[in-house]
Structure 1
Amino acid sequence: MKKASYKSIMMLLILMLGIAPALVFGQDAAGSGKSEAKSTFDKHFFLQASGGVSQFFGDLNEKNLFNERMNFFYGLGAGYQFSPVFGIRGVFNNGWVVSTYDPQDLRMSSSLWDAQLHATVSLTNLIFGYKPERFLNVYGFAGGALANFSSILYQNSNELVIDQNGPDADPPFSQDPMKEFVVPAGLGLNFRLAEKWDLNLEYNLRTMFTDELDLVESGKGNDAYSTAMLGVTYKFKPSANLKSMEKNYGLVKYETTPDPLVRVGDTVCVNVKVIFPEKYFAKKAAMNFQPEIKYAGTSKKLKPVNFQGEDVNGDGIVINYKTGGSYTYVDCVPYEPGMNVSDLVVSPTLYEPKEPVSLNATPEEIKGKYKVIDLPERKLADGVIITGSRILHDEDLILADHGYEKETIVSKDATIYFQVNMHNLNWNLPLNRNNQVQQKLDELASFIRMGYAIRDIDINAWASPEGEESFNQGLSERRAQAGKKHLLDMLKKMAKDKKEPFVIENPEETLKFNTYANGEDWNGFMQAVEASNIGDKRIIMNVVNSQPDVTKREQEIRNMSVVYKEIEDDILPPLRRVVIQVNCFEPKKTDEEIANLATSDPSKLDDKELLYAATLTNDNDTKLRIYKTATTQFPNDWRGFNNAAYYELTSNQLGEAASHLNKADQLEPNNKAVVNNLGALASKKEDYKGAAAQYAKAKTLGAEVNYNLGITQLAAGKYDQALSLMGSKKCNTNVGLAQVMTGKYSEAANTLKCAPESAHNYYLMAVAGARNADVKMMIDNLTKAIQGDPSLKAQAAEDREFIKYFSNAEFMSLVK
């Protein structure tokens, strides 16, 4: 063996053992910024192999503790670590120990092996707690051992044998060696190289019970020897076995429902069942699973989840190694344009966690901590079906009523009063004088002179109810005739006056008179009493109402007239009357005149006429122009703004419609027509939540909004509710769409066939055919749809509704 500085080696060992606690403490202090969950420990067997140098301590070198001669020692060991702190091991060591004593020219050489049994203690884990990822650990050990040795004592200069024990000092074994029990103890440094491999630097001192190893006895103590050895340890710990999982990844199955994905409302939901086979998922492994939707050169990542083996700490989804397992992954993301042509894919990541697994840790977080294995990308679903969003925006809109009447009746009346029980006209009667009846009759004459066409004349006559009923009935008839006669006399007098602008010839024959003899005016009596200041009016009214017999009631009134002077003077006289009412047709412009003026000179039309003019044309552009004129000619009338917005919504001029509806809402807040139309505006902008809120408000104001609400439910993917709300509509595109989405394909076909013909409807029928595996229905209707709207060819070519037919010859020739 070559000479070396044994003292330097021993000093290095002492230095390393000395600074080890500081290094360990530094490791733990560096990670003490946050509390960490306790890591799991795996009980395990291990094997060790080591080599190094030995040192003898005895009489021969008591003056020189360190020899300068390096002597090789090697060892093999096996053990079991049954906790993070305590373990047990057995070690076999073999080699030489040598010592020299220059003053007496002596040298001792011993071939030695020992078999040791140790109890081990991890000082680091005992003090700082267990961390599997810790790089450096300090451990101690002690136990018992059996040592076999053969020693020879030489005179160093001439190699003369002075003494020996055992016949042969050549290693590794000698014949009849010396046997001795020794007590081993020591310290070691353990450097973590990998999950199962450690590097060990260990100092082991064996103290003997005799003084025979160096063949020199001084009586000053027993011999001892030590080793400083560098070795490796292999641990039989459960393995993450990531390579095996990577190799067998093809056995993992994915079941995506539905496939293709489906847009429901504004959302695409993903439902993937992940199935792991038996004996696939290693107990110490973890897998990150994060699907993504790839489309149009970009991607949308879904939420991550992490699976973990049985022996891994954390809140991930645990998969059993022996039996395997499954997990249903669910996530929803907002739909984005372009997702209809996409792939749902996943490329899981395998890793070996050194700390508790977090369920929703991202791949980026994992790759920042561990070495990972990226598994191959797998397709989970092909594209997104967007049929549910093919809504026809034919919302029910509400026009404000123009209020124009093609036939308006204007009336004028005059009342003539009579003396009790009389039917002759008495202009000196106080009521006639005080109520200026003659003046009223003159005003009636002036009304007739206007020349309006007279529709009819009503003559209504009454009697006060204190007389006998049959008499009063006849009296009212006579009074009606008196009133009619007076009017006829007035008309005839007018006819004789050549200055009159309007003359009615033969009025009795040319005019229609409606004469009504109403008899006793009980209602008028009760209303007059109710409005009077008579203190006992409630008593009077109760007396009258309590008498079902008319004769007795009349008598009661006569009796009360004596008691209550107000009845005789104020209540009964005004009831003795005849009312003459002339009903005329108000002159109107013809529809043709109104229609022409609306576009040529609208200033000559009033608000009702102008709004009515829009109903006289079938051209929507002309209607819109008229309503816009109304907004400037009558800027404080909400109806023009609302109705202009109606036709702007119809032609999808949403910006202009919004401006006009907001103005209408300012002028007429909480109007059901405006609120409903604001809902339709939101719906056409695909703000279905806003639309539903407006419709709900319009409903409380009295608007019929069920169909419009049905469209919002259709957009939200609530197809049954949509059908319930829109059920009254027949032959309607949106009803047909809801039927397609609920699997009622035959009903949908019938609904769409009778709906107004359109490429849109043919396309929906083609979808119904594809879903129902009716190839002929699909091809026939898709052909008509493309003929009606060529842009549908490109849509059909990538529509996942037809994915099963992408290789069908007829389909391919149709969309290529």
Structure 2
Amino acid sequence: MKKTLSTLLLAVATVFVLGSCSKKLRPLHGDNVKVEPQMLEVVAGQVPAKIHVTFPAKWFPKKAVLTITPVLRYNGGEKVGASYTFQGEKVYGNDPVVSYTHGANATLSFSAPYVPQMAKSKLLLTFGLKGSNKPIADLEIAQGVIATEMLATAQVAKVALAPDSFQRIIKESYDASILFQIQQADIRRSELKKDDVQDWKGLVQQAKQADNQTVSVEVQAYASPDGGQKLNEKLSEQRERNTTKMLKKEFNKQRMSDIAIDAHYTAQDWEGFKTLVEQSDLQDKELVLRVLSMYSDPEQREREIRNISAAFSQLADEILPKLRRSRLIANIQITGKSDQEIKEFLDKAPKELTLEEMLYAATLVQGKEQQENVYQLISKLHAKDYRAFNNIGTLLYERGALDQAQVYFEAAKNRQNNPYSNINLGLIALSKGDLAQAATLIGAGSSVPEAAPALGLLYLKQGQYAKAVAAYGKTISNNAAVAQLLNSDYGRALSTINALPQPDATSFLIKAIVGARTNDSTLALSSLKKAISMDSKIAHLVSGNLEFAKFAGTPEFAQLLSSTSTH
């Protein structure tokens, strides 16, 4: 943000350079120093500045050695930057030389980790002249630090809750196959006695008798691709008819005559043929598959495949017999416990619930304390599962107990390296300023939805605001709005804040900064008023905040602060 502090930069501060060759004292003026940015601002948790110094012509004594040190002073402390030493033309040394006749330009770099007290601070240049014990006055070059970046915090980021896999309606499908001899449709007794067919019939009967299950049956009959289209169509139809008749007879014996059978047939099972070839170790497998892809006409396909004599012999022995079949399909639907039933079991007999039902039950209870109690119970009954430990950590995180939350996230990760706990530990690392560790952990949790906003916050804290905005995408949060604000996407930041379902005091403070940066005094002051009414501590953040420097001398701003101070 480019603003001019004319009163600051035009102020004359006198620096007495007392070199042995000086015949008179000469001041170094404030307009000989330019600070970039003119208003210091937190970027990636640091307060950086480039300080451009112009040494005027005939100012720097030829035998002088001058050291300049940037210092940021604030209530209770100071941060001292790197010192820069310059020498006159007649000094023997290795420091940059300043010409007496022409002067020189120099750039000093300064950076310090931000602390909240720096919001009200002064950036000074301090001077030391070699060989002189006489103090030289400091030169004030900037006031205050804009700390808007710090409004985005890991503490309000969305943590990742490990989900349950509870399904009230579970759909399962079971298959068995009855095989036929070549060009035959009769069902052999040996096929009915096969284990897979007997097991299939048992599953159907069990589902039919269960109170919480329903079952439906399909028959799909096929013929292998060898043989003519008409022959195969007639053959597959007969197989379907015989299979359906057999099933109805079996169901009648088991008193399941009301089970409907949905029957179909396919004349030439080319799809099944392709699947079996792909799964085989057929010598000319790729050649056969190429024929299938090149020709769509069934008769031409058959001719071309038969021409591959060695392959066709193997096909006839290993592949085609598996395609002469009727496929039996049992579609079973299992209905689980209702929400009310789960609640009742949770109160009276929690051990009767499955792990997934218990995890789901935690989402049904009212209040965070009760929810934590359920997760604590799960952690004891199912101590090897990571999810309850992770989810206890999320509840602790949300109430600000980050150290305790970290213990549970690590306990979850020790049980199973999972993306949810990685994301949450990444947020913990962000809250501690460990950006490298945060990047590793967030990367390891990239598969979960919460990864995007966590990555957005990481980029924001790295000072990469455009990347942060891209990572946040359509996320609606204060942190996302801060990223957009710092990226100068003011309209988008305002839209994000307006879309928040429950805006808080920080939301309105962000909105006020948007107003200030876009010269909308009505938006800025009304939003500030709302922010302070929601949290009186905001008034302290606003007083002296350079984001609102243009309003500092106005009666409206003064009235706003004075009226809130009486609450």
- TM bucket (normalised to shorter chain) is 0.7 to 0.9
User: 1:326/1:468 Cα in 2 relative to 1: closer, same or farther (>3 Å)?
Assistant: closer
Which fold has the larger relative contact order, with Cα–Cα distance below 8 Å and residues 6 or more apart in sequence? 2
> Which residue of structure 2 lines up, in the alignment, with residue 306 of structure 1?
85
> Which residue of structure 2 lines up, in the alignment, with residue 386 of structure 1?
147
1:456 aligned onto 2:216: yes
User: Matches of 1:588 and 1:564 in 2, distance apart?
Assistant: 50
Secondary structure class of the residue paired with 1:332 = strand
The residue type paired with residue 391 of structure 2 is: N
> Which residue of structure 1 lines up, in the alignment, with residue 419 of structure 2?
672
* Aligned residue among 234, 237, 243 for 1:483: 243
- Structure 1 unaligned residues grouped into runs of 5+: 1-237, 352-369, 496-503
Contact 2:389 2:408 in 1 (8 A): yes
User: Matches of 2:227 and 2:318 in 1, distance apart?
Assistant: 16
User: 1:653/1:478 Cα in 2 relative to 1: closer, same or farther (>3 Å)?
Assistant: farther
The residue type paired with residue 794 of structure 1 is: H
- Structure 2 unaligned residues grouped into runs of 5+: 1-17, 563-567
State the 1:457 CA deviation.
0.9
> Which residue of structure 2 lines up, in the alignment, with residue 597 of structure 1?
345
State the 1:551 CA deviation.
5.5
> Which residue of structure 1 lines up, in the alignment, with residue 6 of structure 2?
none
Contact 2:167 2:336 in 1 (8 A): no
> Which residue of structure 2 lines up, in the alignment, with residue 783 of structure 1?
529
State the 1:720 CA deviation.
2.6
> Which residue of structure 2 lines up, in the alignment, with residue 232 of structure 1?
none
The residue type paired with residue 717 of structure 1 is: G
User: Matches of 1:346 and 1:678 in 2, distance apart?
Assistant: 41
User: Matches of 1:585 and 1:460 in 2, distance apart?
Assistant: 20
Secondary structure class of the residue paired with 1:307 = strand
User: 1:517/1:312 Cα in 2 relative to 1: closer, same or farther (>3 Å)?
Assistant: same
User: Matches of 2:137 and 2:307 in 1, distance apart?
Assistant: 111
Deviations 1:564-588 (A, max 9, x none): 9998888766654433333222242
TM-score, with structure 1 as normaliser: 0.58
Secondary structure class of the residue paired with 2:119 = coil
> Which residue of structure 1 lines up, in the alignment, with residue 474 of structure 2?
729
User: 1:533/1:329 Cα in 2 relative to 1: closer, same or farther (>3 Å)?
Assistant: closer
* Aligned residue among 572, 589, 613 for 2:361: 613
Secondary structure class of the residue paired with 2:445 = helix
State the 1:333 CA deviation.
2.3
* Aligned residue among 686, 691, 696 for 2:443: 696
* Aligned residue among 101, 104, 114 for 1:335: 114
> Which residue of structure 2 lines up, in the alignment, with residue 231 of structure 1?
none
User: 1:482/1:339 Cα in 2 relative to 1: closer, same or farther (>3 Å)?
Assistant: same
1:588 aligned onto 2:336: yes
Secondary structure class of the residue paired with 1:264 = coil
User: 1:243/1:722 Cα in 2 relative to 1: closer, same or farther (>3 Å)?
Assistant: farther
Q: Percentage identity across aligned positions? A: 28
> Which residue of structure 1 lines up, in the alignment, with residue 456 of structure 2?
710
Q: After superposition, where does 1:43-192 map in structure 2 within 5 Å?
A: none
User: 1:747/1:543 Cα in 2 relative to 1: closer, same or farther (>3 Å)?
Assistant: closer
State the 1:758 CA deviation.
1.9
Deviations 1:200-221 (A, max 9, x none): xxxxxxxxxxxxxxxxxxxxxx
User: 1:374/1:446 Cα in 2 relative to 1: closer, same or farther (>3 Å)?
Assistant: same
Secondary structure class of the residue paired with 1:265 = coil
Contact 1:769 1:777 in 2 (8 A): yes
State the 1:278 CA deviation.
4.3
Contact 1:475 1:519 in 2 (8 A): yes
Q: Which structure has the highest helix share of the two?
A: 2
User: 1:556/1:740 Cα in 2 relative to 1: closer, same or farther (>3 Å)?
Assistant: closer
> Which residue of structure 1 lines up, in the alignment, with residue 166 of structure 2?
404
Contact 1:347 1:374 in 2 (8 A): no
User: Matches of 2:305 and 2:129 in 1, distance apart?
Assistant: 107
State the 1:547 CA deviation.
8.9
State the 1:792 CA deviation.
0.9
Mean alpha-carbon deviation: is it higher for 569-578 or for 803-812? 569-578
User: Matches of 1:327 and 1:559 in 2, distance apart?
Assistant: 86
Number of positions where the alignment pairs a residue of Structure 1 with one of Structure 2: 540
Deviations 1:386-418 (A, max 9, x none): 112110445454443422222113445554445
Contact 1:272 1:329 in 2 (8 A): yes
Deviations 1:499-525 (A, max 9, x none): xxxxx5x61xxx432101123445666
Secondary structure class of the residue paired with 2:330 = strand
User: Matches of 1:543 and 1:338 in 2, distance apart?
Assistant: 74
Secondary structure class of the residue paired with 1:244 = coil
Contact 2:157 2:479 in 1 (8 A): no
What RMSD in Å do the two structures reach over aligned CA positions?
4.0
Secondary structure class of the residue paired with 2:118 = coil
State the 1:760 CA deviation.
0.6
User: 1:524/1:762 Cα in 2 relative to 1: closer, same or farther (>3 Å)?
Assistant: closer
Larger Rg: 1
Secondary structure class of the residue paired with 1:280 = coil
State the 1:283 CA deviation.
2.6
* Aligned residue among 470, 488, 491 for 2:230: 470
The residue type paired with residue 460 of structure 2 is: L
User: Matches of 1:570 and 1:465 in 2, distance apart?
Assistant: 14
Secondary structure class of the residue paired with 1:373 = coil
User: Matches of 1:765 and 1:711 in 2, distance apart?
Assistant: 19
* Aligned residue among 383, 400, 408 for 1:652: 400
Contact 1:466 1:558 in 2 (8 A): no
User: 1:252/1:446 Cα in 2 relative to 1: closer, same or farther (>3 Å)?
Assistant: closer
Contact 2:69 2:125 in 1 (8 A): yes
Q: After superposition, where does 1:398-547 map in structure 2 within 5 Å?
A: 398-412=160-174, 414-418=176-180, 421-427=183-189, 430-432=190-192, 435=194, 439-440=198-199, 443=202, 446-448=205-207, 450-451=209-210, 453-495=213-255, 504=256, 507=258, 511-521=259-269
Contact 1:265 1:389 in 2 (8 A): no
Deviations 1:256-284 (A, max 9, x none): 33344222122222333334444433333
User: 1:317/1:812 Cα in 2 relative to 1: closer, same or farther (>3 Å)?
Assistant: farther
Q: Which structure has the highest strand share of the two?
A: 1
